[in-house]
Amino acid sequence: MNYKAPRGTVDVLPTESGKWLKLERILRTIADNYNVKEMRTPIFEHTELFNRAVGDTTDVVTKEMYSFNDKKGRSITLRPEGTAGIARAYVENKMYAWPEKLTKVYYMGPMFRYERPQSGRQRQFHQFGVEMLGVESPYVDVECMLMALTVVKALDIKDVTLHINSLGDDASREAYRTALKDHFRPHLHELCEDCNDRFEKNPLRILDCKVDHEHPSMASAPKTIDYLSEGAKAHFDKVCQLLDELDVDYVIDTNLVRGLDYYSHTVFELISDDPKLGAGSTVGGGGRYNGLVEEVGGPATPGVGFAFGMERLMLAMDDDMTDDAGIDAYIMPLGDEAKDYAMQLITVLRAHGFCCDMDFVGRGLKGQFKSSDRFHAQYALIIGEDEVKNEIVQVRDNETKEQEAVKVEELITYLDHKMGV
Ligand code: HAM
């Protein structure tokens, strides 16, 4: 039997994990920079949470969730996104009562969506997400956008455009919903069954339809921005004004509605034309969700956030961005006696804090030098019969190729000195 990883999942091999670690380190540094703390929520939640929060007419909920019954018959879902879990935990842990009114958190981890896999799209993928809960101010919307832009800048992702739009508050969305229904009503018989269903339950979702997206009624559909209430318009205008003052480039994309139901007011996406991703690829997106916390049982609490697909960030990053710095020393024993000696030595070196490895294969000098190169070892420590007898080690600087015989008892001092410790 040949086992294969399930479709849409990938193995991160040791040759690639250095790049992942680098990405994670950059993201954590940016989070520190913005005073955003990490929060970890479960990878699975009760299915009902996502139906509620993400919305039971969205594609994510109707088509893409990995749901199953546990042994007690409860419906459980592998999280398709992170915001719902954060909102649930925020309420459950009464974080709304914490002294600091604005809670700023981030998360990094696997998400699951049953989608057709392609480059940058998987069934198990990873998100870096940020949520800022508790304050309704447009300044916080901009704080999120700035942080998202800092990420693409730090990773040197090319040709990124910030797209923004506003869905407005409840009153705006109600007016828009009526306008959308009036617009689509005469076309209903030409639209798919799902769209007919969406028409009754949630007409906004007609705009995400993958079947009818080229139907002429889509392009001529009313725009959310034309139905904003006075308050919603003032909020959006302030966001735009702040971005202008900060010299942040953006486009107002009136077609941007996002595929999850919890959004209100500002929504945004970072779209890259970097050839490594393919033109028009969305690396991240987010927006405000002022109704979500209440929807999942908490007190009315505004929120705003965003998430990046980490696989997409990885694709766009240069391969030489890696945390795989190489080791300090590779120990090369020649012969059985030397191996015993090497094992003693490596233990002492590691205890001193050096990153080391040694040959466990029993190869000749040539083969061992190849490993030393592959591991990017700074020093090769060669131990043959004579070295064992005379209690010395041949220390080869792999960069300068200079080699010196060093007394074993002086080795640590010698390496410390060479490495400038
Ligand atoms: P989303 O737009 O559904 O938003 O996902 C955010 C990002 O996750 C996407 O822009 C994309 O880069 C990545 N992504 C989504 N699906 C996949 C997939 N199948 N394979 C690889 N990458 C994928 C959310 O999830 C919201 N929770 C974001 C948010 C946070 N809004 C407010 N706070």
- Ligand 1 centroid to residue 29 C-alpha, Å: 21
Amino acid at 307: A
Ligand 1 lined by 208 (C-beta under 6 Å): no
pLDDT of residue 55: 95
- With a pLDDT cut of 70, the percent of the chain lying above it is 100
pLDDT of residue 210: 86
155-172 tens-digit pLDDT: 999 899 999 999 999 999
139-149 tens-digit pLDDT: 999 999 999 99
> Taking the mean position of all CA atoms in its chain, how far away is CA 208?
23
**Closest ligand 1 atom to 123 CA:** 19
CA distance 186 to 137: 39
Is residue 420 predicted with pLDDT exceeding 90? Answer: no
CA distance 188 to 343: 76
Ligand 1 lined by 81 (C-beta under 6 Å): yes
302-345 tens-digit pLDDT: 999 999 999 999 999 999 899 988 999 999 999 999 999 999 99
CA distance 164 to 285: 10
Let me know: does 128 contact 36? Beta carbons within 8 Å.
Answer: no
- Ligand 1 centroid to residue 203 C-alpha, Å: 22
- Ligand 1 centroid to residue 264 C-alpha, Å: 17
CA distance 97 to 91: 9
**Closest ligand 1 atom to 82 CA:** 27
Q: What is the dihedral of CA 122, 128, 133, 135, to 10 degrees?
A: -110
Most confident option among 108-112, 172-176, 190-194: 108-112
Mutate to test the pocket of ligand 1, among 107, 127, 155 (most ligand atoms within 8 A of CB): 127
Ligand 1 lined by 80 (C-beta under 6 Å): no
- Ligand 1 centroid to residue 125 C-alpha, Å: 9
Mark 53-74 as b/e (b = at least 16 C-beta within 10 Å).
Answer: bbbebbbbbeebbbbeeeeeee
Let me know: does 205 contact 300? Beta carbons within 8 Å.
Answer: no
pLDDT of residue 279: 84
Neighbours of 328 (CB within 10 A): 21
Residue 6's pLDDT band, with cuts at 50, 70 and 90, is very high
Residue 50's pLDDT band, with cuts at 50, 70 and 90, is very high
From 145, 119, 122, select the one nearest 132 (Cα to Cα). Answer: 145
236-282 tens-digit pLDDT: 999 999 999 999 999 999 989 999 999 999 999 999 999 888 888 99
Identify the residue whose tokens are 């690396």: 283
pLDDT of residue 129: 98
**Closest ligand 1 atom to 84 CA:** 27
- Ligand 1 centroid to residue 285 C-alpha, Å: 6
Is residue 401 predicted with pLDDT exceeding 80? Answer: yes
Residue 208's pLDDT band, with cuts at 50, 70 and 90, is confident
32-42 tens-digit pLDDT: 999 999 999 99
Ligand 1 lined by 122 (C-beta under 6 Å): yes
